[in-house]
Amino acid sequence: MDDSLQTTKANAGAALWVPQPTQDGSFTFFSEAFGESFHSLAGARQEALLKFVTATRLRERAARSPLRLLDVCYGLGYNTAAALETIWTVNPRCQVDVVGLELDATVPLGAIAPALIDPWPPEVQEILRAIAQTHHCTTPTLQAKLWIGDARQTIQSLVQQGFQADAIFFDPFSPRRCPQLWTVEFFQQVARCLAPTGMLATYSRSACVRAAMLAAGLHIGTIPLVDDHPPHEWSQGTVAAFETSHLLPLSPMEQEHLHTRAAIPYRDPQLTDDAATILQRHQAEQRASQRESTSSWRRRWGIV
């Protein structure tokens, strides 16, 4: 590990964040609290570009100005960085308004070590530093704010402000690790921040996540795989929108998945329950359900 990465670990504001290399040369962090990495180890930068920027069609939308982005679980800031790089490559004059929601302010602070932000253009690097250090950034083409706190509460303030995003990057830890941010009730709040022609993208292909999106009034589509993949892989994630024109329909296998017990969504009626309570409620609903088991669905489709 070089000196700049060791510095990241030693920084007072980022003492817990040890950079981990991913296969595309970019870095991520591992969260001890959630037991997961912040990004796919196949490539953190690649994941930001493919599963969020490309999936929300930002290259095509960049000709239009202004653009509003909502980054749910801002983390290291890679999704925002990839979006800004893409938009300004297409249209350097595009006005962008970004709101990031993040629980832990030490994460973006830990991510601004030189070796971690070197892959981004200098202009974007300066923006990442400002957001991490002051929680806002203003330039001639950007208004960015980072809201720190439980996203279930901060999203409600954003709804009250009438914020409407052209693209929402939905990137919490996985549903089993962080069920609080994958519930029907939270998606209902997030959907209220999505513009009528906007698109929401997430890496999750989980049936319970897709069912929660549908219950929140959104249409859903799949993010297709782009290369050879193991038989247990069937999608890179999910895109949701109020319109269907740019959504790739689910395959028959994915559609059937939505009729299994796996598609029973998480619930958090008051947006205040802890993870254990939400998981227990979900497990009880699954046990009481008469739907087809997920294992039966997997056998029928030959999923290992």
CA distance 122 to 135: 19
For residue 104, what is the DSSP state?
-
Task: Report cis status (omega within 30 of 0) of the bond before 66.
Answer: yes
pLDDT in tens, 207-250: 999 999 999 999 999 998 876 655 567 789 999 999 999 999 99
- Which pLDDT band, with edges at 50, 70 and 90, does 6 fall under? very low
Domains parsed from the chain with CATH numbers = 3-253 (3.40.50.150)
Say what the pTM is.
Answer: 0.93
State the Cα–Cα distance between residues 252 and 255, nearest whole angstrom.
Answer: 5
Q: At CA 241, angle to CA 160 and CA 255, rounded to 5?
A: 130
* Nearest residue to 31 via CA among 81, 76, 72, 1: 76
Terminal-residue alpha carbon distance, the chain: 37
Tell me how far apart the alpha carbons of residues 84 and 90 are, in angstroms, rounded to a whole number. 10
pLDDT given for residue 224 in this prediction: 87
Is residue 279 over pLDDT 50? yes
- Measuring CA to CA, how many Å separate 137 from each of 99, 124, 133? 11, 11, 10
Tokens of 166: 């052209």
**Residue 213 to residue 215: CA distance in whole angstroms:** 5
- Using pLDDT thresholds of 50, 70 and 90, give the confidence band for residue 192: very high
Residue-level pLDDT at 302? 86
